[in-house]
């Protein structure tokens, strides 16, 4: 009877949830996205400037080379949230903090819980892991969007090639004004392949540039530890 009564109480007692759920998940994911936006733009800007100076002749250079990455930024914008939310919760931080006997270890569920589980206290205790998940996920996503087999890489390549061709046409026009019979016979097939290879070489730097910008391996510049811990603990 006692046992039955206990079970009844357990099953019907209102459940007080101490876990990062709902708005907590949404807000923490968005906070990392917000903090990574200037990091990502800095790295893409660096690569865009290399593309412009190394591959595009001056006569067709853009005022804002970052526009080459328009397709990447669009795709990042529409997929980054889901990817990051999934990488943090539930891939790593989820579940209850209680041990096999249903007891919450000291510091759990909050504010500093030494068990991997789905509460703010656990995210604070394992902050180094959380920091690296955010970095790895953001870097992997951007690497995906700039690898040669991706649709977004091909769109960027098309934009670059169009500018290179514009520059070539202008040079040819000038040339044929000077030496009319020569201009149209210049072939640019070989040059195009070189440019594709150089572009892939620039894109390949992305993980390394992200690491440099963030101060890898410690990620000291993409940690925001104090502010993020306070923010995380602001959720019940």
Give me the residues that bind ligand NAG (CB under 6 A), please: 33, 37, 59, 77, 80-81, 83, 137, 140-141, 144, 170-171, 174
> Of 216 and 233, which has the nearer Cβ to ligand NAG?
216
Query: What is the closest distance, in whole angstroms, from the C-beta atom of residue 110 to ligand NAG in the complex?
Result: 28
* Distance from the Cα of residue 52 to its chain's centroid: 23
Which residue carries 């934009």 as its tokens?
159
Q: What minimum distance in Å lies between the beta carbon of 200 and ligand NAG? A: 17
Shortest distance, position 93 Cβ to ligand NAG, whole Å: 17
Q: How far apart are CA 126 and CA 103, in angstroms?
A: 20
CB nearer to ligand NAG: pick between 152 and 223: 152
Least Å distance, CB 171 to ligand NAG, is 4
Compare residues 82 and 103 and give the one whose CB is closer to ligand NAG: 82
Q: Which is nearer to ligand NAG, 133 or 199 (CB)?
A: 133
Distances (CA, A) of 229 to 91, 111, 118, 138, 165: 20, 10, 15, 20, 51
Scored b (16 or more CB within 10 A) or e, 140-176 reads ebbebbbeeebebbebbbebbbebbeebbeeebeeee
């Amino acid at each position: 009877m006692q046992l039955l009564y206990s079970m009844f109480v357990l099953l019907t007692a209102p459940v007080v949830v101490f876990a990062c759920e709902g708005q907590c998940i949404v807000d923490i994911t968005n906070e990392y996205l917000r903090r990574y936006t200037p990091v990502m733009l800095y790295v893409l800007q660096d690569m865009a400037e290399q593309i412009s100076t190394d591959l595009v002749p001056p006569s067709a250079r853009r005022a804002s080379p970052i526009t080459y990455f328009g397709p990447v930024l669009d795709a990042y914008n529409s997929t980054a949230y889901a990817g990051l939310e999934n990488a943090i919760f539930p891939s790593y931080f989820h579940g209850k903090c209680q041990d096999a006997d249903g007891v919450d270890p000291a510091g759990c569920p909050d504010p500093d819980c030494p068990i991997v589980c789905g509460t703010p206290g656990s995210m604070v205790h394992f902050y180094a892991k959380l920091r690296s998940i955010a970095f790895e996920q953001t870097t992997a996503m951007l690497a995906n969007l700039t690898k040669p087999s991706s649709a977004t890489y091909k769109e960027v390549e098309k934009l670059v090639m169009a500018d290179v061709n514009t520059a070539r046409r202008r040079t040819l026009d000038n040339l044929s004004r000077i030496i009319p019979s020569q201009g149209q016979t210049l072939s640019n097939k070989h040059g195009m392949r070189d440019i594709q290879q150089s572009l892939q070489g620039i894109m390949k730097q992305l993980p390394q540039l992200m690491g440099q910008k963030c101060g890898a391996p410690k990620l000291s510049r993409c940690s925001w530890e104090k502010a993020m811990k306070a923010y995380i603990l602001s959720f019940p």
